[in-house]
Structure 1
C-alpha cells in the first residue's frame, strides 16, 4: 500500500516537472524583438544566431576537454603576449568559421589575431571578440567565457574595409554579449534595450530565456581584484581596497573575467583590473573585453570606468589597446573613482 502511494506521489512530481514551461527560445526572442533596432533588416538577428551556434560547438568541446587532448598550452603566444591555450585556437576557429559562413560580418577583430580578418566586404557589421576568455582555467574545470562586441560598419558595403570601420568607440556598439561556460552555459546579450540572459538546454540544443531584463544592484558587498599584485597598485587603488576591507566586503576573484562579471551582475559588486607596474596601461583589452562588458553593465544599471573616464567614451587607437577597468554596481564604481 505504502509503495503504491510512493509511486503515485513520484509519478505526480515527475508529471509536474514535465509540465513546467521551458521558456522562450533564443531564436523566437530575437525575432520578436528585432524591430527594436533602428536598422533592422534581419542581418543582426542572423548574426546573433551565428554566435549562438558557434557557442554551442565551443560548449561541446569544453565539456569533453578532459577526454581528448585539447587541454593545456598550444605552445605559442598571441599578439598581446598571452600564452595561447589549445582551446583558444579552437574557439577562434569555430567563431571565425561561423561568422564567415553567415555573411553578415565584413571584419573580425579577435584577441587571437594580430590584425583584423576580412570576412566579407558586403557585410554590414564588424565584430570584436575574445573567443575564450580565461581559457587557462579549463585545466582545473573553472568557468570560462566568450565576449563579443558588434558594430555597424561606417563605410559603404562592398568597398574595402576602412580604419573607421574597425576602430570605433564602445558607445557605437549596436550589440554586445558574453557566453559563460560554467555549471550551466549561459548567453547574455544586449542590443541597447536592456539585458537578457539565456540558459542552454543541452538535450534540446537550444538557449531559453531564463533571466529577463537583468538588473545589476546599485550597491554590493563583493570586490574582485587580483590582490597578488597589490604591491604594484597605485595608492588610490590600495586605498579603495582598504575601504572595501574596512566595510567588511567579501573578496571574490575567479580569474575568469566573464565569471567574475556575471556574479557581480547578479549579486552586486565591483570588478577591478587596475594599472600596475607590469602593465601601466592595464591588461584588459578595450575593443573585445572592456567595451562589451561596459555596454552590458550600463544597460543593466551599472557603470564602467577606466578610473578616470567612461569606458564607452574611450577612442581606440589600435586593435589591441589596453585600459584599466572598473566595472560593476554603479555606486561602487563611483566610489572607486572618487579615490
Structure 2
C-alpha cells in the first residue's frame, strides 16, 4: 500500500492533503541537504544559529502547506510569527530537526503537529502528527490517533513514492536503549541516579543529538529519550508545539508515555509558541518511574 492509498482510507481530507504536501516537499529537502549546509548570519526566534538548510526547508514546507488551502496557520520554530492560511488546521513544525549535525552526517528530521484550534494550544488539541527521517532511508512516521505507521520513499522512475514500511508500530516491552541530552554535570540529581541505574538493567546508551534519530532508536528497541530539566535550563530546551507535543502524540499511540517530570506533556497549556519544558519519552514504566523521582525532589 502506498501513502496516497493509505490516506484515502484512513485520514480526513484536510489531514490527507497536508500530509501529501509534506511527503512531496521532504524529498526536495532531502536532496538539498548536501548543498545548503552553511551557516547564515541570523538566528531563529529561540536564539539558535540558522543554517541555510533551516531557512530553505522552512520556506519550502510553509509554502507547500499553505498552498493546500487546508492550513489555518503554519507556525515554525524558524519564524517569529505564524503564517496565516484559509483552512481549519493549525500546523506547528520543526522544519529541520538536528541541523547542527549536518557536518557529521547524522540523521536529520522534520516534525509536524496538526492542531484543531489556533495556537498556542495544548497537545490535547492534536488530531495528528508525523515526523520525517532523513537518513539511510527517507521515511515518514505518522499517526492520526489510530496507531503509528511508517512509509519509506521508493524511487519510481524519475520520482519517489512512499510505500508502507511498517503498520501499527509499538514500543517493545523490554527496553534496550536510552539517550539523555545536556551536560551530565547539569542534570538534576534524580536524573543522574536514574541514568546510572540503566546499564545494570541491560540498557545501552544511544544518543546522536537529533531528536528524531534518537526517538527512532527508542521506538524500534524500547527505552527512554530525554532532554531533561537542567540546573542551567530548568525548563529544558525542546519546544512544546514544534517538537515534544507532536512526538508525545505519536509515542502515546505506540503504547508509550511522555512527561515533563510532573505530568503528561499533552496536558500542558502553553501560553507562548516558543514555550519549552523538560522532556522524558518512551516506555511508560520507565518514564513514570523517572517522573515519580523528579516530582519527589
| TM-score interval (norm. to shorter) | over 0.9
Moved over 4 A (4+): none
Q: Which residue of 2 aligns with 1:223?
A: 178
Equivalent position to 1:198, from 151, 160, 174: 151
Aligned with 2:165: secondary structure?
A: strand
- How many angstroms apart in 1 are the aligned matches of 2:94 and 2:56? 12
Q: CA deviation at 1:140?
A: 1.7
- How many angstroms apart in 2 are the aligned matches of 1:61 and 1:201? 18
Q: CA deviation at 1:221?
A: 2.2
For the Cα contact (< 8 Å) 1:107–1:127, is it kept in 2? yes
- How many angstroms apart in 2 are the aligned matches of 1:219 and 1:292? 24
Q: CA deviation at 1:251?
A: 0.7
- How many angstroms apart in 1 are the aligned matches of 2:196 and 2:210? 23
Please give the residue correspondences for 1:244-263 in structure 2 after superposition, counting only pairs within 5 Å.
244-263=198-217
Q: CA deviation at 1:175?
A: 0.5
- How many angstroms apart in 2 are the aligned matches of 1:176 and 1:224? 22
Aligned with 1:130: secondary structure?
A: strand
| Structure 1 portions without partners, runs of 5+ | 1-23, 35-39, 154-164
- How many angstroms apart in 2 are the aligned matches of 1:218 and 1:294? 18
- How many angstroms apart in 1 are the aligned matches of 2:52 and 2:87? 30
Q: Which residue of 2 aligns with 1:4?
A: none
Q: Which residue of 1 aligns with 2:63?
A: 97
Q: Which has the higher strand share?
A: 2
Please give the residue correspondences for 1:1-339 in structure 2 after superposition, counting only pairs within 5 Å.
24-34=1-11, 40=12, 42-62=13-33, 65=34, 68=35, 70-118=36-84, 120=85, 122-153=86-117, 165-203=118-156, 204-226=159-181, 229-339=183-293
- How many angstroms apart in 2 are the aligned matches of 1:168 and 1:206? 33
Q: CA deviation at 1:200?
A: 0.6
| More off after superposition, 48-57 vs 191-200 | 48-57
Q: CA deviation at 1:219?
A: 3.4
- How many angstroms apart in 2 are the aligned matches of 1:105 and 1:202? 29
For the Cα contact (< 8 Å) 2:51–2:99, is it kept in 1? yes
| Structure 2 portions without partners, runs of 5+ | none
Q: CA deviation at 1:202?
A: 2.9
For the Cα contact (< 8 Å) 2:175–2:221, is it kept in 1? yes
**How high is the TM-score relative to the length of structure 2?**
0.95
How many residues are treated as equivalent by the alignment? 291
For the Cα contact (< 8 Å) 2:98–2:109, is it kept in 1? yes
**How high is the TM-score relative to the length of structure 1?**
0.83
Q: CA deviation at 1:332?
A: 1.4
For the Cα contact (< 8 Å) 1:218–1:330, is it kept in 2? no
Q: CA deviation at 1:278?
A: 2.4
For the Cα contact (< 8 Å) 1:218–1:301, is it kept in 2? no
Aligned with 1:171: secondary structure?
A: helix
Q: CA deviation at 1:277?
A: 2.4
* Structure number with bigger Rg: 1
